[in-house]
């Protein structure tokens, strides 16, 4: 008894539609769940299916040609005086460069992705005002993304695995102090410019406010409470910046030696610096006292064990 053919009318329609969209037989067959060999056998047996096949491929080819023509026209608008070459600033390479620039905000990385030199990119930007405007728009799209990523790594932090013996045994929270300093310096520069111009705040004021150090309060047990009521990590860069500012106001900022971190002392109700250098010195002093005590005890035992003189 012959096996029933999987090529129902619904499957045939889906295959032709996938072929029209994909423009490739293997991709269309994979999309509808059949093999390319089965599709070719059906084409050889059914002239009507072969005609629909050819029509779908013709539509796909026409769509590709129209897309290439549109891309070429857009490339001509950006670089009207540039002679297009296959290894130069083609339409595809322009789109790839601008998309990468909007994603990374870095000209060098965008040039690397588009396989073009940064020297050529800057030369084209200088000679084409339209391309320069597209360049500026791409950077404007990338700026919020980069700032958000910097804010996440500086304030939110990330989990770094601790590996021992080839296995992950624990995780620790890490923060980027350099990115936090960069965000704070950027915010201070923005505040200074706003004060000098005395102009209303721009539309991105909310984002700039998010980069400011929050006004923490202290809890009963020395916890730092954020404005939203959450408990902040006292060793995070933002909390350390707030504690350092309090230390400046209290006049003990000189206690910082760069080896530890600031903390809130509930007994003294002020900011203190927990120096790791001083902690190590205290440990060494205690070890010295223990060693001296053991030496004295050993000397006393030796003296007691010696026989009295005859």
- pLDDT (tens digit, 9 = 90+) per residue, 250-301? 777 777 766 677 888 887 788 888 877 766 677 778 778 888 877 787 766 6
pLDDT at 179: 59
pLDDT at 195 over 60: no
Please tell me the distance from the alpha carbon of residue 291 to that of residue 289, in angstroms, as a whole number: 5
pLDDT at 2 over 60: no
Q: Taking a C-beta distance cutoff of 8 angstroms, is the pair 173, 164 a contact?
A: no
pLDDT at 124 over 80: yes
Phi/psi at 264 (5° precision): -100, 120
pLDDT tens digits for range 199-217: 444 434 434 444 456 678 8
Which percentage of the chain shows pLDDT scores above 90?
1
pLDDT at 209: 42
Average pLDDT over residues 213-235: 78
Helices (H), the chain: 9-22, 25-32, 36-45, 47-78, 91-104, 107-114, 118-127, 129-151, 177-197, 205-210, 237-250, 276-305
Please work out, in degrees rounded to the nearest 5, the angle formed at the alpha carbon of residue 145 by the alpha carbons of 88 and 67. Answer: 40
pLDDT class for 84, splitting at 50, 70, 90?
low
Q: Taking a C-beta distance cutoff of 8 angstroms, is the pair 69, 107 a contact?
A: no
Residue located via tokens 């310096």: 185
pLDDT at 202: 42
Please tell me the distance from the alpha carbon of residue 202 to that of residue 76, in angstroms, as a whole number: 35
pLDDT at 163 over 50: yes
pLDDT at 226 over 60: yes
Q: Which two tokens stand for residue 30?
A: 């994979």
Lowest mean pLDDT among 2-11, 66-75, 201-210: 201-210
pLDDT class for 177, splitting at 50, 70, 90?
low
User: How many other C-beta atoms are found inside a 10 Å radius of the C-beta of residue 268?
Assistant: 9
Average pLDDT over residues 154-178: 76
């Amino acid at each position: 008894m012959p096996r029933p053919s999987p090529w129902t009318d619904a499957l045939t329609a889906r295959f032709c539609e996938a072929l029209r969209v994909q423009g490739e037989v293997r991709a269309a067959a994979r999309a509808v769940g059949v093999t390319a060999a089965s599709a070719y056998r059906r084409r050889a047996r059914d002239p009507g299916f072969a005609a629909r096949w050819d029509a779908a491929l013709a539509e796909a080819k026409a769509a590709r040609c129209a897309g290439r023509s549109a891309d070429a026209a857009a490339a001509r608008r950006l670089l009207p005086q540039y002679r297009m070459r296959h290894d130069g600033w083609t339409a595809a390479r322009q789109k790839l460069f601008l998309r990468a620039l909007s994603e990374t905000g870095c000209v060098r990385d965008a040039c690397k992705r588009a396989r073009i030199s940064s020297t050529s990119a800057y030369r084209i930007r200088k000679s084409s005002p339209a391309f320069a405007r597209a360049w500026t728009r791409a950077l404007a799209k990338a700026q919020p993304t980069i700032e958000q990523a910097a804010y996440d790594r500086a304030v939110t932090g990330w989990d770094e695995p601790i590996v021992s013996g080839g296995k992950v045994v624990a995780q620790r929270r890490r923060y980027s102090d350099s990115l936090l300093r960069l965000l704070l310096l950027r915010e201070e520069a923005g505040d200074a410019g706003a004060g000098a111009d005395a102009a209303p705040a721009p539309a991105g004021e909310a984002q700039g406010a998010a980069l400011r150090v929050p006004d923490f309060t202290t809890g009963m047990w020395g916890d730092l409470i954020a404005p939203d009521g959450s408990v902040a990590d006292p060793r995070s860069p933002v909390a350390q910046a707030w504690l350092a500012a309090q230390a400046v106001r209290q006049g003990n900022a000189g206690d910082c030696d760069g080896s530890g971190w600031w903390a809130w002392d509930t007994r003294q109700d002020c900011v203190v610096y927990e120096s790791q250098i001083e902690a190590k010195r205290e440990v060494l002093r205690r070890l010295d006292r223990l060693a001296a005590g053991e030496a004295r005890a050993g000397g006393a035992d030796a003296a007691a064990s010696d026989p009295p003189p005859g």
